Amino acid sequence: MSTTTSPKGAAGLRTDDSKPDTTHGPVARGIGGVAGWVDDRTGAGKPVGYLMKKVFPDHWSFMLGEIAMYSLVVLLLSGTFLTFWFVPSSGLVPYDGSYIPLRGVVMSEAYRSALDISFDVRGGLIIRQIHHWAALLFTVSIMVHMFRVFFTGAFRKPREINWVIGTLLSMLGIVEGFTGYSLPDDLLSGTGLRAAEGFMRSIPVIGSYVSFFVFGGAFPGERIIPRLFTVHVLLLPAIIVGLFIAHLLLVVVHKHTQYPGPGRTNDNVVGYPLMPVYTAKAGGFFFIVFGVIALMSALFTLNPIWMYGPYDPSPVTAGSQPDWYMGFADGALRLVPGFLEFTAWGYTFSFNVFLPAIMLIPVVYGLAGAYPFLEAWVTGDKREHHLLDRPRNAPTRTGLGVMALVFYGLLFIAAGNDIIAIRLGLSINDITYMLRLGIFVLPPLSFWVTRRICMSLQRRDRELVLHGRETGRIVRTAEGKFFEVHEALGEHERWRLVQHETLEPLQLRAAVDSNGVRRKGALMDRARAKVSSFYFSSRIPAVTPAELAAAHHDGAAHEALAATPASPEWDRQLHGGAEERAETDAYAPHAHEDGQVREDGHAREADPDAETTSTR
């Protein structure tokens, strides 16, 4: 019999456990030493540690902004490669490169260098294609990301500045794309520059001076290519990169928005820390984006400049169109009637060109940038918002967004009115007239239809919360009554449908004060009240706890419960979806979906890679 005794309790159960190895290898010690040396001299340890622990929520729609960022990285890398061989000069030289059909043709040095990149530089053509595809993806991802932000209300306080930065990035992306598209000096890009010169001339009074200043004299001149090159590779990229950095810094400062759900409040963020989880996911997603861009570049040819030949002002190329992001401006140019051009005071005013070609883009993006401030003024809401809206719960905002999309789509379709007429054998005039009519009819109609759909979806959510989900099972009670069994919603699903607040129109204050003197700003308050009524007059209130309790204790359900006391199968599945309200429901403290996070923001003990909650 052994006389050795073992410790009692939990400690005794772990006496034979192996101790973790806390020693570090030479590489880890070396990295730690370098990090300590840098921290001692820069104090970067604390902010870097804060950033590495920063929690970001996880949702597929947040990846849209990441696509734009990774496309920008691809643009910078591929653009740097192209600058090694591109010659930004309008000087004329004969072509003697590998593309036989153009040998001996006199062309600009810019066009010849673009051909050399495509045919004589190893890997040059695929890099050109990657650069072009990345530019298109950058532009479209920013636009789609902005619409996600708009429809979910992520632009509200404190993110108004970030929204303005996003609108500037989208607009600058269009300008940057046009400057790069014009650099090869082929026939198609030269036609676009010729159109741009005409747009500049349409500016009232000073148009010809602006054109001479930009082109360095009469069109086409020899200075426009070097100037476009400077703008394209130096000026605009510096501004875009600076705005992107500011955008990311504000995301860190404000903390990332998140979709509503159990355990998610305006005071915390439920997600993954930047290091190591989010960093690994983001790195992998970058290579996915890069791989998709490379695959598209290898399979689908964009802008085959060798087929167009060098630019010559004399030919008129039918069917020439710019890249898709300029389509809405091109469509507006085709729809504006010609009678807006007239002569007065010795000047020709071409508003039929000036309005769609020069004013449309800044006006559209200016209105988009101003919208957060307009909505805050209408609602009077000055609070911070870190939880996103479901689009259906903001029907007026959603309707305005769909109206803008329909307006944009009609202008985009109008950019191809000539192609549509040729392919379908229709009159181009009939197509133009119908699109002009549609511009005034379809956007308001789409707004009304969208708002009604959102309200219908809200009513459906309300009925679902109060009465549960229909199961199709009919039950007959001992008294001969029939009712359909409704399956009550789970707490997590119910919370998603009832967590939003219902805003009410602002109340109009009295126009005069107690002394009978007209109050300052009364006229503005009246306008504000009318716009607020337009926003919120048609609203469906969210289900309150009292309404939920009343629906779960209605008369029919109580009778059914009393009539079937020995039928546990139907207990809590009553007529009208009247599940007896549990002690912990959608309005009470609740757990996160995986049982990990409580409402107080504490997280259970878990591994470092698990989803966590942060109040930062």
Domains and CATH numbers, the chain: 64-313+329-389 (1.20.810.10), 455-511+520-592 (no CATH)
Mean of pLDDT values over 57-65: 89
Give the H or E element holding residue 205: none
Please, what's the b/e burial string for 553-566 (b: 16 or more CB within 10 A of its CB; e: otherwise)?
A: ebeebebbbeebee
| Angle between the N-to-C axes of helices 236-254 and 63-83, in degrees from 0 to 180, rounded to the nearest 10 | 150
Tens digits of residue pLDDT in 97-147? 899 999 999 999 999 999 999 999 999 999 999 999 999 999 999 999 999
Mean of pLDDT values over 547-565: 54
Angle at 99 between CA 97 and CA 100, to 5 degrees: 100
pLDDT confidence of residue 560: 39
Between CA 354 and CA 273 the distance in angstroms is 50
Q: Please report, rounded to a whole number, the percentage of residues in the chain having pLDDT higher than 90.
A: 46
Angle at 45 between CA 44 and CA 48, to 5 degrees: 80
pLDDT confidence of residue 561: 34
Of residues 595 and 107, more confidence is placed in 107
Helix (H) and strand (E) counts for the chain? Answer: 23, 9
pLDDT confidence of residue 613: 60
Mean of pLDDT values over 566-593: 42
pLDDT at 582 over 70: no
pLDDT at 606 over 50: no
* Inter-CA distances, 43 with 48, 447, 468, Å: 9, 53, 57
pLDDT confidence of residue 6: 54
Mean of pLDDT values over 371-375: 93
Contact 111, 305 (CB under 8 A): yes
On the 0-12 / 13-18 / 19+ scale of CB atoms within 10 A, 19 is exposed
Between CA 69 and CA 66 the distance in angstroms is 5
Between CA 437 and CA 416 the distance in angstroms is 17
* Inter-CA distances, 79 with 86, 124, 215, 304, 323, Å: 10, 11, 24, 18, 18
Position 26 confidence tier, pLDDT thresholds 50, 70, 90: confident
Mean of pLDDT values over 319-341: 87
Between CA 391 and CA 388 the distance in angstroms is 9
pLDDT confidence of residue 496: 84
Mean of pLDDT values over 191-204: 90
pLDDT at 567 over 80: no
Tens digits of residue pLDDT in 75-101? 999 999 999 999 999 999 999 989 999
pLDDT confidence of residue 36: 82
Tens digits of residue pLDDT in 156-176? 999 999 999 999 999 999 999
Tens digits of residue pLDDT in 273-314? 888 888 888 899 999 999 999 999 999 998 899 998 898 877
pLDDT at 557 over 70: no
Position 68 confidence tier, pLDDT thresholds 50, 70, 90: very high
Across the chain, what does the average pLDDT equal? Answer: 83
Peptide bond before 589: cis, by omega within 30 degrees of 0? Answer: no
Tens digits of residue pLDDT in 504-538? 777 767 666 666 666 676 677 778 888 888 888 77
Query: Hey, what are 113's tokens?
Result: 């260098």
Between CA 290 and CA 73 the distance in angstroms is 9
